[in-house]
Structures are given as structure tokens and as C-alpha cells.
Amino acid sequence: MKTLTAAILVAGLAAPALQAAEVSADVTDRDGNRLGAVRVHDTPSGVAVATLTLNSVPAGIHAVHLHETGDCSASDFKSAGGHVAGDRAHGVMTEDGPHPGDMPNLTVKSDGVGEVEVFLPFLNVSEHLLDEDGAAFVIHEGVDDYESQPAGDAGERIACGELTERTQ
């Protein structure tokens, strides 16, 4: 019996740990300048976390969102499609919101740095970001008003990053 218990214990320790889904992107502006990175991962609680580490972003308040297509090839970044929306409305100020890809506005100081961690309670990385056409992170020129449909009246897209799966 001791041998069987020890064998089960050793087998359990040797088994690979379950890894939460995780994606990341290098973010670039319209001129191709690298502005930093974004990482999004699932957590054991079921709430995804996005970590934004950005620099050289124009000072001010900017809307930031996860978009439904992993394509930043268009000069205006519209190739990234709309927000990762699921079956929810845009914005925290709407009854059926927010979208899984909605994030709070990002304040960038005069040094161009914007860093924040954001909880995304309606986002599932595998389901929403690792589908057939991928997903992207987008920085908008203006502020998200958290209620205008479908995207918060946030203005032009000024930066984009194609999210790709991270493996350990």
C-alpha cells in the first residue's frame, strides 16, 4: 500500500501543471514605433487580468480596448475590427455592459508612460482572444465615455498590438 501511495504521489508531482491561457502583444503606433507591451491572462478565480506597460504614448487620457481581430495591418488599425463584445453592450454605464474587452481609460502623464493592471471579469482568454482570427489591443486618441454604442466615442485608433499566445 505504501508503494502504491508513493507511486501516485510521484506521478502527481511529475504531471505537468495546468497553465492558464495567456496572450501578449507588442504595441506600435501608426509610424511603427514600439510603445510597449500588453499581457492578458486568465486567473484561477476566473477573472482575466491585463497588464499594460506602455511608453512614448501621447500625454492625456486614452480609451484602451481589446479588439476582435488580431490584425493591425491597416494604417488606421481598423483591420482590428470592433471590440471583443461577446453578448454584452459597450461600457460600464450601460445596463448590459461592459464588453469583455472594455477597459478603464488610461491616463498617460507628460513623460509618455502608462502602466496599469486591469481586471476583466467577463473575458475568457481562450474563448475571446485565442479564436480563429485572434484579437488585438488598441489605444484610442480620445476618452471612452463608457456608454456610447458601439465603442464609447473614443476617437481614432493611434496604436495597436496583435495578441499572440504565450507559452511557458
Domains along the chain with CATH numbers: 19-165 (2.60.40.200)
Model pLDDT for residues 15-37, shown as the tens digit of each residue: 334 567 899 999 999 999 999 99
* Cell numbers given for 94: 450601460
| Per-residue pLDDT, 35 | 97
Q: How far apart are CA 100 and CA 90, in angstroms?
A: 9
Q: How far apart are CA 107 and CA 72, in angstroms?
A: 23
Alpha-carbon torsion (81, 83, 84, 90), positive or negative:
negative
Cell numbers 485572434 correspond to what residue?
A: 134
Q: Which residues of the chain have pLDDT under 50?
A: 1, 3-17
| Per-residue pLDDT, 19 | 60
Q: What is the pTM of this model?
A: 0.86
| Per-residue pLDDT, 6 | 40
* Cell numbers given for 149: 454604442
Cβ–Cβ under 8 Å, residues 125 and 23 = yes
* Cell numbers given for 7: 507511486
